[in-house]
Structure 1
């Protein structure tokens, strides 16, 4: 009988633990659309292929990409893809912010 109650108690704890947590408090990072951090966006979406320091890995080195491509060309690559890079990894305003930031890499 004690084992049965222990099973019920453990099962309930697991069930309640899995169902709980839906009331997490939203945290404001202090950034609005006008305050996007291009480096954070890059790290979260691009660094896996282009390296944490733009040095290149499976994707090309981007440390001087602004000397080769204009902001519009960089944005086009982000939006449409190129070579092994798929299109749309970053979209919308985030893509524009990252393209502007990368265009300054010279």
Structure 2
């Protein structure tokens, strides 16, 4: 009986760990695409007379990508709606922390949040998106 209980406990623990840390494989696959998009954006800026016009359309795409990255890596704990998870609510996080502070939490972890669930441009995009939540 103890072995069965121990086995179930281990299985539940592994399920919890995989739910909170999920999405890293997808993020690694998307890195090449993100780098290609950034290179194309830079080339577009240099090749156009009005580089700002190309930059003005970028935030809408970044917002959608940031929300997508949040859904993949963070929503299991924080909730898809930013409030229904077991981790702290993020619906008004921008009124408490700046973009840089949020980025620091994403990169370095928090009280119970593991570090490095998102990295680089993905972490920066999600931090900027969350900083707008006031």
**Range into which the TM-score falls when normalised by the shorter chain:** 0.5 to 0.7
Counterpart check, 1:71 vs 2:99: yes
Distance (Å, rounded) in 2 between the aligned partners of 1:59 and 1:83: 10
Structure 1 moving runs of 4+ over 4 Å: 33-36
Whole-angstrom distance in 2 between the partners of 1:62 and 1:88: 18
Q: Are 1:40 and 2:77 matched, yes or no? A: no
Deviation at 1:56, TM superposition (A): 4.1
Do residues 98 (structure 1) and 130 (structure 2) align?
A: no
Contact 1:80 1:87 survives alignment (8 Å): yes
Unpaired stretches in structure 2, ≥5 consecutive residues: 1-32, 39-57
The TM-score normalised by the length of structure 2 is 0.54
SS of 2:126's equivalent in the other structure is helix
Partner of 1:51: 79
CA offsets 1:5-25 (integer angstroms, 9 cap, x no match): xxxxxxxxxxxxxxxxxxxxx
CA deviations on 1:62-91 (whole Å, 9 max, x unpaired) are: 000000000000000000000000000000
Number of residues paired by the alignment?
77
Structure 1: give runs of 5+ residues left out of the alignment: 1-29
CA distance in 1 between partners of 2:121 and 2:77 (Å):
21
Structure with bigger helix share is 2
Choose 1 or 2 for highest CA Rg. 1
Contact 1:71 1:100 in 2 (8 A): yes
